[in-house]
Amino acid sequence: MSERLFAEIEKRMKRIQDYVLSESYVRRFAPEDMQEAVTAYFRSGGKRLRPAVLLFACGAVGGDESKAVSAAAAVEIFHTWTLVHDDIIDRDTLRRGQPTVHEFFSQKSLRNGRFKSGDESAHHYGVSVAILAGDVQHGWGISLMTELTTRYGIDPAVTLKLIDTLDTYVLTTLVEGELLDVQQSRMPIEALTESDIEEMLWKKTGALYEFCGAAGAAIGLNTSDFSHPLVKAISNFTSACGAAFQLQDDILGIIGDEKLLGKPVGSDIREGKRTLIVQHAYRRASAAQRELLNRVLGNEHATSDEIAEVATLLVNLGGIEYTKERAKACIQKAIPCLERVPVSYYRDLLADWAKLMTEREF
């Protein structure tokens, strides 16, 4: 299944890439550092799973994918700006094998002599550029949404509904998820229930996937009625798959391949992320094992040996296995929703895509 799916994703990835990196957009961004910052993540690749699923959803309801291309680009850019800001918040320095935006411009400002080595201002400059670059990408994403009507003739009621939904319901949900993540990582593990964690991770990831399904279907049907049975069916499907995506992300964060991931495995441990893996393992840990977990999780001075020891412990206590089961359960819940959509090549692609959520290693 994967080869067909990858070929179809790849085709759309290239289309979105060409679309967003066209001169008419890029020349809007100035000065030079801002132009570089705003376009950096698009030049460096990425999985592009969100635009692909939006386009598949559009096709699956019998719509014309080519009318949804600006919306597909919009969700990718929308996702990107949230990463740029989250990387500042999570103090991540690497993403997709490249320095994150704030890290890159901090380093660049040292290289070009704007700041001197050891100057905290270089870090602050990098953070400033990344805050502003995310803001510009946010606006760019919304602007691309307006093209649904102005360039592709979609009913303006659909476009306005999508913009409103993306910029309030989806955005407030994403931000709530991110802030809950920050807050939970400071809380004692035993104070958190499984549903606290599943709520946080659906908000962080599921809400935008839900939107991708709804948007693709609504554009394909040219309807602003999100309670239309096909819009409901597909958005419920992508919503559940989004939760599985995040669970798999957490698994790869512990046992993934750094080269495929483009970021250091174990950083979730150092940051003290309260994943389902950690929560499940902690419940089954002995007193001595809990002591180790409490000492290493969220300890920025933890050694790589300690990180490795905790990773092994999380595996041995069944945290990975359990989380894998939960991810599969999400997909089990998703498939019946998809079955309400008429049979088509697009529906098959969506089913393949659902499997990818729990089987991917990148």
Instruction: List contacts with its own copies (CB under 8 A).
Output: 28-31, 33-34, 82, 85, 88-89, 91, 114-115, 124-125, 127-129, 131-132, 134-136, 138-140, 142-143, 146, 149-150, 156-157, 159-160, 163-164, 166-169, 171-172, 175-176, 178-180, 182-183, 186
CB of 136 or CB of 334, closer to its own copies: 136
In whole angstroms, the minimum distance from the beta carbon of 175 to its own copies comes to 5
Helices 287-296 and 304-316, axial angle in degrees (round to 10) = 140
Q: How far apart are CA 2 and CA 190, in angstroms?
A: 39
Q: Which is nearer to its own copies, 164 or 225 (CB)?
A: 164
Contact 194, 279 (CB under 8 A): yes
Least separation in angstroms between CB 269 and its own copies:
17
Distance (Å, rounded) from C-alpha 223 to C-alpha 234?
A: 14
User: Distances from the Cα of 214 to the Cαs of 22, 48, 58, 272, 318, in angstroms?
Assistant: 27, 17, 9, 34, 35
Tokens representing 85 are 């800001």
Collapsed DSSP state (helix, strand, coil) of residue 95: strand
Query: In sequence order, which residues have a C-beta less than 8 Å from that of residue 231 and are 6 or more positions away?
Result: 61, 214, 217, 218, 221, 223, 225
* Min CB(186)–its own copies separation in Å: 6
Residue nearer to its own copies on the CB measure, 8 or 87: 87
Question: Looking up tokens 């080869």, which residue turns up?
Answer: 3
User: Cβ closer to its own copies: 82 or 323?
Assistant: 82
Q: State the nearest-atom distance from the C-beta of 305 to its own copies, in Å.
A: 24
CB of 113: closest distance to its own copies in angstroms? Answer: 10
C-alpha 111/C-alpha 271 separation (Å) is: 29
CA 98 to chain centre: 17
The smaller minimum CB distance to its own copies, of residues 163 and 329, is found at: 163
Are 273 and 250 in contact by the 8 Å Cβ rule? The answer is: yes
Nearer to its own copies, 127 or 315 (CB): 127
Q: How far is the CB of 227 from its own copies (least distance, A)?
A: 17
Number of H helices, E strands in the chain: 19, 2
Q: How far is the CB of 162 from its own copies (least distance, A)?
A: 10
- Which residue number, 2 or 22, has a Cβ lying nearer to its own copies? 22
Task: Give 132 or 329: the residue with its C-beta nearer to its own copies.
Answer: 132
Q: Minimum CB separation from its own copies for residue 146, in Å?
A: 4
Could you count the other beta carbons within 10 Å of the beta carbon of residue 150?
A: 12
Please report, for residues 118, 164, 276, 293, 309, the alpha-carbon distance to residue 305 in angstroms, rounded to integers and kept in the order given.
28, 48, 23, 13, 6
